[in-house]
Structure 1
Amino acid sequence: MSNVPDEELSQDTLFSLLSNPRRRFVLQYLNRVDTPVTLQELSVETAAWENETDAENLTDQQRKRVQVSLYQTHIPALEDAEIIEYDSDSGEITLTDRADDLNVYLHGDIEEEDRRWAMYYLALAVTGVVVYAASTLIAGVGEFWTTVIGLIWILGLAGLAVVHYLEEK
C-alpha cells in the first residue's frame, strides 16, 4: 500500500464510494488478495461474484460488461479519492493506505488492536473466574480472602479498562 494523503475523506465521500455494490466488492477483493491485480483479473472476479458463478462459467459478454464499467466508472472514482492506484500501462490496481478509511464502513472490521484488547479482557475474566472459583472451593480459605481475591480481580478489570481508555484517547 502507498502513502496516505494528508486530508481525510469526508463521510459523504466515503458513503458515496461505498454506495455501489460493485465498488464494495472491488474493495473487499483487493483487501483479500493484498497484492496488485490487473483490471482483467478484477473484472473476472467481480463478474463471477455478480453472476453467482465460477469464473470459468462466465460469458464474454458478462466479463466485458463488468470490465467496461470498472474501467469507465468505478476505478476512476476510487482513484480520484486516492483509495486505489491504477497503472494504466500495466493495468495493475493496488490499494492505498487510504483504503483503511473505508474498511471500517465496508465490513465493520475489527482492527487488530481491538482484538488484542478483547483478548486482554478475556484473559483477565477467565483468570478471575478460575482463581475466585478455586478460592471458594479450597478448604481453609475464608470469606475474607475470597473477598480480597474478588476485589483484586475487580480492581484489575478497572485498571485494564483505564489503560485501554487512555491508550485509545
Structure 2
Amino acid sequence: MDESRKLGTRNIQSIDAGSGSSGREKPISPDTILSAVANEHRRAILDALDNASEKTLEYDVLVDRVADRVRDEDAKRESDEHRQRIRIALHHTHLPKLEEARIIDYETETGYIQFIGGELEQKILTLVEPYDIHE
C-alpha cells in the first residue's frame, strides 16, 4: 500500500501526468485549492482563463476581463483607476498565489498566463459560481 493511502490522505493529481511540461510533479491538497479560489479576484482570473482559447491569456487582456467582472464599490470612480488597482493586485498578490498553488503558469517575461489546473479546480469553480454576486 502506498504511503499516502496508509495515512488516509488523498493523492489529488489535477492534470494527466502525460500532458507534458505543464503537468504537476506533486499532488496538491484540497486546502491549497480552496484557499486559492477563496478570493473573488482569483475566481475571476480562473474563470477568464477557463473561457479563453487554449486556457491562455495575455496579461493586459486578463486585467481587462477581471476588472470588468470585479466591479469597484464606487461605480462613479474612473475606470482607469479601477483597472490600475486590479493590475497591481493581480501582479503582486493574486497571480503569485495561483501560481504557488500550481493552478496557473504565469510567464512574466512573455506576459502570458495559462490555466494548468485540472478537474478539481474546475468543479470547485462551477460550484461557487452561482454564489458570486455580480452587479
TM-score (norm 2): 0.68
Matched, 1:4 2:6: no
Contact 1:84 / 1:99 at 8 angstroms: preserved in 2?
Answer: no
Which is greater in Rg?
1
Pick aligned residue for 2:40 from 21, 34, 45: 21
Contact 1:43 / 1:67 at 8 angstroms: preserved in 2?
Answer: yes
Structure 1 unpaired stretches of 5+: 53-57, 109-169
CA distance in 2, matches of 1:77, 1:38: 18
Q: Deviations over 1:77-124 (max 9, x none)?
A: 11112111111112111111x34331111114xxxxxxxxxxxxxxxx
Q: CA deviation at 1:38?
A: 1.4
Q: CA deviation at 1:7?
A: 2.4
CA distance in 2, matches of 1:70, 1:99: 21
CA distance in 1, matches of 2:25, 2:114: 19
Please report the RMSD computed on the Cα atoms of aligned residues, expressed in angstroms. Answer: 2.3
The structure with the greater share of residues assigned to helix is: 1
Count of residue correspondences: 104
Quote the sequence identity (%): 27
Contact 1:47 / 1:66 at 8 angstroms: preserved in 2?
Answer: yes
TM-score (norm 1): 0.55
Q: Which has the higher contact order (CA 8 A, sep 6+)?
A: 2
Q: Deviations over 1:19-51 (max 9, x none)?
A: 101101110110111332111111111111112
- The aligned residue for residue 60 of structure 1 is 80
Structure 2 unpaired stretches of 5+: 1-18, 73-77, 128-135
- The aligned residue for residue 12 of structure 2 is none
